[in-house]
Amino acid sequence: MVTAKQKAKTIPEAMDLTMVEALNRALARAMAEDESVILLGEDIGIDGGVFRATEGLIARFGEARVRDTPLSEALIGGLPVGLAAMGFRPVAEIQFMGFVYPVIDQLVNHASRMRTRTRGRLTCPMVLRAPYGGGIHAPEHHSESTEAMFAHIPGIRVVIPSSPAKAYGLLLSAIRDPDPVVFLEPKRAYRAARESVVDDGGALPLDRCFVTLKGADITLVGWGAMLGEAMEAADILAGEGVEAEVIDVATLKPLDMDSILASVKKTGRCVIVHEAPLTGGFGAEIAARLAGEGLMHLVAPVERVAGWDTVMPLPRLESRYMPSAARIAAAARRALEYA
């Protein structure tokens, strides 16, 4: 018989982790539970990745399962498609989102079509991880936020965590999913905060928004690092007597529009926040669907707070490009003042 003391020892303890540490724990957990999980990417083995998300994993699981690749994003995008078709669950890392474009060919023409091309006989359970977004004063090609491009590809899931706990749970779900997932990690949030995470293998649901803060006056919608700005804006508005509801989209594709509509039905007002350029950003898709499916619930035009329609002006003007809590609060006030 297992005693209560012995049972307690088997229950994982909560740890205060940064997002990058939580990602490392999720990868280790997935690899320990499933031998078909293989990691590949540039410098992910001996060096532990450019942001150290895979640190220590090669020592634990060996070179056969943690593979350093040549400096070829086309290879990093194509190899997991073949591995997935042969029964593996590859997790490929692109060092920065600005380097991801050679992978688009493999995602559009092969990974996203595997299920339909084979009438369901084969699937493509691969995950493509990439740090994205600005805020760390990186050089050119290191601060892109082109998530809308991936969301436009049929057959691809697009997942973006906003906190350590969500990074852990959502990455596990992405690895276990039978279809391809683009998993974008806001590098500004990698070490910005710590959060209690239990390394118990518990996954979070994909394809669902999370209500981060409940409120009745206005809905703030965002994802990734912008959740921090949205929460800060909510604090500013709370000081003015305004209760903001904050929605973390988490999975951009497929989009859980029901949760957003339920919030807007309650509040009647909505501000959408993302750091990608305004024109063609994913916020436009949410705004269009609100116009088509929730128009009768809106009492003010939908506001969008986004990056500017220009290449991010690095490094000195980066902070002027990024949406701020002050800009979000100002947009909320415009919506609240609308008669």
What positions carry a catalytic annotation? 142
CA distance 260 to 296: 14
3-state SS string for the chain: CCCHHHHHHHCCCEEEECHHHHHHHHHHHHHHHCCCEEEEECCCCCCCCCCCCCCCHHHHHCCCCEEECCCCHHHHHHHHHHHHHCCCEEEEECCCHHHCHHHHHHHHHCHHHHHHHCCCCCCCCCEEEEEECCCCCCCCCCCCCCHHHHHCCCCCEEECCCCHHHHHHHHHHHHHCCCCEEEEEEHHHCCCCCEEEECCCCCCCCCCCEEEECCCCEEEEECCCHHHHHHHHHHHHHCCCCCEEEEECCEEECCCHHHHHHHHHHHCCEEEEEEEECCCCHHHHHHHHHHHHCHHHCCCCCEEEEECCCCCCCCCCHHHHCCCHHHHHHHHHHHHHCC
* Residue 124 · residue 84 · CB < 8 Å: yes
Whether the CB-CB separation of 281 and 148 falls below 8 Å is answered with: yes
150 within 8 A of 106, measured Cβ to Cβ:
no
Question: Tokens 């084979």, residue?
Answer: 118
- Report how far residue 21's alpha carbon sits from residue 54's, in angstroms, rounded to the nearest whole number: 9
How wide is the angle at C-alpha 95 spanned by C-alphas 89 and 99, nearest 5°? 105
